[in-house]
Structure 1
């Protein structure tokens, strides 16, 4: 008998086959030209995100039911702010959690930074889902001052430096 990641519900082989084999997140970081703020959206598979929230915060995570949205807001924000940090020109950037929404099989989490000027380099530190999978891949698409660059972090790598 197979056990699910949260070990609450036994899975049969057919149910286990329905789980996706790819452990991936995608993060867009766009600098707003008017405000200077970095607008961030992280796309994470819903089932994986619910698993890690349940494990880390000892809650029954449900990111799909509208009735649970307000309850889940606190743990979603807490997790992302703990596992995604940005710095520019050797200075940490304060991030604020905006909210999340469902999009088919994924959850999109929104964050925003304080205004940032003159970005010469952006250091991204991410451990999103590293505490769940040792084959996690986090992809980043970063647009600052009109320049777009893409890169990925493969577990266990945590830091990415993008120069502009």
Structure 2
């Protein structure tokens, strides 16, 4: 099963090859990577979403013009990104509901990377993530979770309408 997720990760790392000539992509997927940093006692979280899909859902939800590329709009986009991700990602770490602190976002080719952090985590035994990113836009959305704890990496996925992703160490 891990081999499947490894191959899927490889596919997601080469987003541009999945673009059709029209500039649209046939795959609706987001990836969330969570790494336990034992030195800092924190979870470092990054989400990767196709920018065109992300801009579409932000514009639809917040009924405003969205441009994640425009530097003059970056502060306004920060607020929209933070609100959307906070509404669509919910964390339960070691059985306790926690809230992540927004760090920021950056554009990377056809994808947008969004960064969060959860502090004061002494160890990571279990993580339950509720992920509904882009579920309000696509009924074929797939959300993948990769969790790294020391030398162990675990991956799970949820296809719309399923939203729960669970990992235990």
What TM-score comes out, normalization by structure 2 length? Answer: 0.84
Q: 1:158 aligns with which of 142, 163, 167?
A: 163
Per the TM alignment, residue 94 of structure 1 is displaced from its structure 2 partner at its CA by 1.8
After superposing the two structures, state which structure 1 stretch, 114-123 or 62-71, moved more.
114-123
Aligned-partner Cα distance in 2 for 1:124–1:20: 26
Aligned-partner Cα distance in 2 for 1:17–1:100: 26
Q: Does 1:84 align with 2:84?
A: no
- The SS at the match of 1:75 is helix
Which residues of 2 match residues 61-80 of structure 1 at below 5 A?
Answer: 61-80=66-85
The answer for the alignment partner of 2:39 in structure 1 is: 34
The answer for the alignment partner of 1:144 in structure 2 is: 149
1:17-69: per-residue Cα shift (whole Å, max 9, x none)?
A: 43111101111100111111110010000000000000101111100111111
Alignment check: 8 A CA contact 2:36 2:149 kept? yes
After superposing the two structures, state which structure 1 stretch, 42-51 or 65-74, moved more.
65-74
Q: Paired residues, what number?
A: 150
Q: CA RMSD in A?
A: 1.5
Q: Which runs of 5+ in 2 are unaligned?
A: 1-19
The answer for the alignment partner of 2:140 in structure 1 is: 135
Q: Does 1:50 align with 2:59?
A: no
Alignment check: 8 A CA contact 2:145 2:165 kept? no
After superposing the two structures, state which structure 1 stretch, 135-144 or 115-124, moved more.
115-124
Alignment check: 8 A CA contact 1:93 1:114 kept? no
Bigger fraction of residues in helix:
2
What TM-score comes out, normalization by structure 1 length? Answer: 0.87
The answer for the alignment partner of 2:109 in structure 1 is: 104
Alignment check: 8 A CA contact 1:94 1:114 kept? no
